[in-house]
Amino acid sequence: MAIYFNEENKHFYLEGKDISYIFRINRIGFAEHLYFGSRIGREDMTYMEQVGSGAAYVQMPNERNQCYSFYNPELCFYGTGDYREPTFSVKNPLGDRLCRLHYTGHDIVEEKPKIKSMPSLSGAQTLILHLQDELSLFAADLYYTVYEEYPIIARRIVYKNNSQNNLILDRAYSFALALPNKEFDILTLCGAWAHERQMQYANMHRGIVSIDSKRCSSSSILNPFIAAVSKGANDEYGEVFAVNLVYSSSFVLKSERNADGKGMLLGGINDFDFEWHLAPGDELETPEAVIAYSNEGLGKMSRAYHDVYRDHLINPRYVKSNRPIVINNWEGTYFNFNSEKLIEMAKAVKGLGIDTFVLDDGWFGHRDDDSSSLGDWFVYEKKLPGGLKPVIDAVHENGMKFGLWFEPEMISEDSELFRAHPDFAIGVPGRDRCKSRRQYMLDLTRADVRDHIVNTVNKVLSENEIDYVKWDYNRNVSDNYSLSLPPERQKEFAHRYVLGVYDICERIVNANPDIFFEGCAGGGARFDPAMLYYFPQIWTSDDTDAEERTKIQYGTSICYPLSTMSCHVSAIPNHQSRRSCSMKTRAAVAHLGATGYELDPTLFTDEEKELVKEQIKAYKEFSHLILTCDLYRTENPFEGNFFGFNLVSKDKSEAVFTCYRRHHGEELVKFVYARGLDPEKKYYIPERDVTLSGATIMNAGLEPYFPHHDFATDIIHFKEVK
Ligand code: DGJ
């Protein structure tokens, strides 16, 4: 049993693998946090009660010695002497924002209730804590789902209006997580286009450290992830308290540290430009926050996220099945192709082991560049006479499946759709709209616009033999406004936009269960757990340069499993960095995810074809590890000249260790120390023709055989010998 309630001292004990999370209902009736960390017994934690320094403080009415600000909270509310960041803010009919949420009861349910409007994790025992303000009848239900197999707890809050008055929420976060009084750094994943999810540390200083998105997407700028990491922690050592939001729109995540040293993580929907009207009886669901604890550094935290997302988030039909190995025409042709060229490309990869041909942007409307046709999801006859069929037939004849690109949320000014329905585009009446990548966005808060998208996309999918869809999203929202909302509800736009995204994803993905969907957002600008619920893999970055990718893929692996990262081998010089890496290195890095090729294969020499064939064969031999492995990161490319990923099978009977050296001259002799093997087991290493124990490999190390040039790789296999 993961959740236990002690009636006597009103303590809740939430127990997952290696972790305990303990809080109580205190004398005032507030939910008071007591402990979160490594597993401990079910003891009475009342001794944790904090008396403070005796300085002036606000006393609760009728409470001689009780002051709320001395507690660690399960959530914070404003106006009771608690001056920390409130978890929510609700405007009462008198205009004040005061609220005191008292415990009114709880339920423990075996099956986790689904969030109706948004993706969330499945399964596991859940505690629902009911809190209500006695005066305003504003209420909050706090959900805690405890995953016994992992050091993970999922939290969220449902805010409710149980009164007869209209109430307005102007902040509605998903959680507040009290931290122990220790020194932490804050780790976040920041970036930009073609530079996603770079590791960034800040001191968790007194005051607030805050990251957010105001883009109506989770964004490449800051991923919806934050972690408080003990000073000096690395992949193996140290404590980590982490939060990843299952949300794809404007979010905020913060750490706050008080004068007395107490810390807290909190966040959810961004409260900038946000309000939500709650009529009597209404409720607002907030996105789920997936909270992980590790006492063995970032590595254990990442493995916990990878496991829980594979087991409880990503479509079970695809999560552990071999991913299509694709040839994608984007970097090979950009917009400049026709049926003949595509058919030549399909023929050129025959027999190499590639199983899916993906036709990217430019097949519809009259699209020759990015200035037109988004929304016109019918075939561009000039490029593809007779429609998609001749190309699809040729792809099939060459032994592959067929995939197609869409950007369903967008509309070009130069499109039949815009000429017929200019009001479908997001914008404020009377104000010229901003363009980005020469396109506008569709107003997904509107049901009629969503129906139009679902019908037109599903029509193409039902009329053609399509096995794979790449769902792109190349710009962020501007001109936030919907014609369907009254002026006083315009601040609901950012959240309603993403509810619209989830609605169309749900309807398109569910209507096409045999189609494999890959997410994309001008590279990896919407790489978040909510998108992974619909799309088992996401295009990680438009930067396909192997050197840049070591950092992007390392940063992405902090939360997301390798199988979720779509990674392609592309031509040299690389189109983004102009760097030239060997085919061996390009494949070694791109094969650390759901792989493919993104170049013009008609330009392959015979020698290159042989190499690609061999590389794909080798990939297929270990691709089960991409889908299911425990990942042990050894060398951190943000800190030094090397990158190292050891992919270990769950039963520790095999592993593949990819080692990478950036610059040749810096360290000519380098030993690597694999992690995650069983010290007792014996492993055969084919590349060295030697059998060694896991203990020897991990402690004495191995020297990778790097070729003598920059950006070099060596791949080492470990196979158990019984
Ligand atoms: C951005 C994507 O990341 C690319 O892979 C490609 O699909 C282009 N969009 C097409 O416009």
- Tokens at 163, concatenated: 């009164």
Place of tokens 């608690």: 82
| Closest listed residue to residue 249, CA positions, set 277, 226, 266, 272 | 272
Q: What is the pLDDT of residue 712?
A: 97
Question: Are residues 59 and 194 both part of a single domain?
Answer: yes
Q: Is residue 496 situated within a structural domain?
A: no
- Give the alpha-carbon dihedral of 263, 190, 115, 441, to 10 degrees: 140
Question: Are residues 666 and 596 both part of a single domain?
Answer: no
DSSP assignment, residue 598? Answer: E
Q: Give, using CA atoms, the residue closest to atom 1 of ligand 1.
A: 522
φ and ψ of 715, to 5 deg: -115, 130
Measure 452 CA to ligand 1 centroid, in angstroms. 23
Beta strands in 180-262 (DSSP E): 184-190, 198-203, 207-212, 225-230, 240-245, 251-257
Contact 138, 161 (CB under 8 A): yes
Measure 537 CA to ligand 1 centroid, in angstroms. 15
pLDDT tier for residue 65 given thresholds of 50, 70 and 90: low
Average pLDDT over residues 635-656: 97
- Tokens at 117, concatenated: 């409007």
Q: Which helix (H) or strand (E) holds 712?
A: strand 712-721
| Integer Cα distance of 716 and 612 in angstroms | 19
Question: Are residues 511 and 442 both part of a single domain?
Answer: yes
* Pairing relationship of beta strands 401-406 and 410-411 according to DSSP bridges: unpaired
Beta strands in 413-481 (DSSP E): 440-441, 468-471
Measure 498 CA to ligand 1 centroid, in angstroms. 21
Question: Are residues 274 and 383 both part of a single domain?
Answer: no
| Closest listed residue to residue 550, CA positions, set 517, 531, 577 | 577
Tell whether the model's pLDDT for residue 517 goes beyond 60. Answer: yes
Average pLDDT over residues 416-442: 97
Measure 353 CA to ligand 1 centroid, in angstroms. 24
Q: What is the pLDDT of residue 667?
A: 76
Domain harbouring 694, CATH code = 2.60.40.1180
Contact 567, 527 (CB under 8 A): no
Question: Are residues 148 and 24 both part of a single domain?
Answer: yes
Question: Are residues 457 and 584 both part of a single domain?
Answer: yes
Domain harbouring 92, CATH code = 2.70.98.60
Q: What is the pLDDT of residue 82?
A: 83
Measure 642 CA to ligand 1 centroid, in angstroms. 29
CB distance 542 to ligand 1 below 6 Å = yes
CB distance 36 to ligand 1 below 6 Å = no
Place of tokens 């939001």: 245
| Integer Cα distance of 661 and 706 in angstroms | 7
Give the type of residue at 224: P
Domain harbouring 380, CATH code = 3.20.20.70
Q: Which helix (H) or strand (E) holds 309?
A: helix 297-312
Q: What is the pLDDT of residue 533?
A: 98
Q: What is the pLDDT of residue 718?
A: 98
Contact 194, 186 (CB under 8 A): no
Question: Are residues 369 and 421 both part of a single domain?
Answer: yes
Give the type of residue at 394: A
CB distance 267 to ligand 1 below 6 Å = no
pLDDT tier for residue 1 given thresholds of 50, 70 and 90: confident
Tell whether the model's pLDDT for residue 664 goes beyond 60. Answer: yes
Tell whether the model's pLDDT for residue 660 goes beyond 80. Answer: yes
Mean pLDDT of all residues belonging to the chain: 96
Residues 6 or more apart from 248 whose CB is under 8 A from it? 217, 218, 498, 501, 502, 526, 528, 530, 531
Residue-wise pLDDT for 204-215, tens only, equals: 999 999 999 999
- Tokens at 213, concatenated: 């998105």
Percent of the chain whose predicted confidence (pLDDT) is above 70: 98
Query: Which one is predicted more confidently, 276 or 17?
Result: 276
Q: Give, using CA atoms, the residue closest to atom 11 of ligand 1.
A: 361
The number of beta carbons lying within 10 Å of the beta carbon of residue 368 is 14
Residue-wise pLDDT for 172-219, tens only, equals: 999 999 999 899 999 999 999 999 999 999 999 999 999 999 999 999
Which CA distances in Å does 700 have to 642, 645, 691? 18, 18, 14
Say whether pTM exceeds 0.95.
Answer: yes
Q: Which helix (H) or strand (E) holds 145?
A: strand 138-147
SS3 assignment, position 344: helix
Q: Is residue 656 situated within a structural domain?
A: yes
CB distance 474 to ligand 1 below 6 Å = yes
Q: Which helix (H) or strand (E) holds 20?
A: strand 19-25
CB distance 330 to ligand 1 below 6 Å = yes
Tell whether the model's pLDDT for residue 48 goes beyond 90. Answer: no
SS3 assignment, position 403: strand
Instruction: Work out which ligand 1 atom sits closest to the CA atom of 542.
Output: 3
CB distance 527 to ligand 1 below 6 Å = no
Q: What is the pLDDT of residue 665?
A: 82
Instruction: Work out which ligand 1 atom sits closest to the CA atom of 330.
Output: 6
Active site residues: 472, 542
φ and ψ of 638, to 5 deg: -80, -15
Q: Is residue 603 situated within a structural domain?
A: yes
Q: What is the pLDDT of residue 384?
A: 98
Q: Is residue 501 situated within a structural domain?
A: no
Measure 437 CA to ligand 1 centroid, in angstroms. 11
Angle at 425 between CA 507 and CA 414, to 5 degrees: 105
| Closest listed residue to residue 36, CA positions, set 240, 297, 230, 204 | 240
Contact 357, 345 (CB under 8 A): yes
Query: Which one is predicted more confidently, 368 or 666?
Result: 368
CB distance 331 to ligand 1 below 6 Å = no
Question: Are residues 413 and 474 both part of a single domain?
Answer: yes
CB distance 522 to ligand 1 below 6 Å = yes
Residue-wise pLDDT for 357-402, tens only, equals: 999 999 999 999 999 999 999 999 999 999 999 999 999 999 999 9
The number of beta carbons lying within 10 Å of the beta carbon of residue 610 is 12
Residue-wise pLDDT for 130-158, tens only, equals: 999 999 999 999 999 999 999 999 999 99
Instruction: Work out which ligand 1 atom sits closest to the CA atom of 470.
Output: 7
CB distance 299 to ligand 1 below 6 Å = no
Average pLDDT over residues 568-581: 98
Question: Are residues 598 and 710 both part of a single domain?
Answer: no
SS3 assignment, position 14: strand
Residue-wise pLDDT for 71-95, tens only, equals: 788 999 888 888 899 999 999 999 9
Tell whether the model's pLDDT for residue 67 goes beyond 70. Answer: no
Instruction: Work out which ligand 1 atom sits closest to the CA atom of 539.
Output: 3
Return the CA Rg of the chain: 27
Last residue of a domain, one of 616, 645, 673: 616
Last residue of a domain, one of 312, 346, 376: 312
Q: Is residue 201 situated within a structural domain?
A: yes
Q: Is residue 545 situated within a structural domain?
A: no
How many separate domains does the chain show? 3
Tell whether the model's pLDDT for residue 692 goes beyond 70. Answer: yes
Give residue 420's domain range: 326-491+507-524+570-616
Question: Are residues 214 and 249 both part of a single domain?
Answer: yes
Last residue of a domain, one of 278, 312, 346: 312
Residue-wise pLDDT for 524-571, tens only, equals: 999 999 999 999 999 999 999 999 999 999 999 999 999 999 999 999
Of 27-36, 153-162, 648-657, 710-719, minimum mean pLDDT range: 27-36
Question: Are residues 398 and 333 both part of a single domain?
Answer: yes
Question: Are residues 473 and 518 both part of a single domain?
Answer: yes
Q: Is residue 629 situated within a structural domain?
A: no
Q: Is residue 172 situated within a structural domain?
A: yes
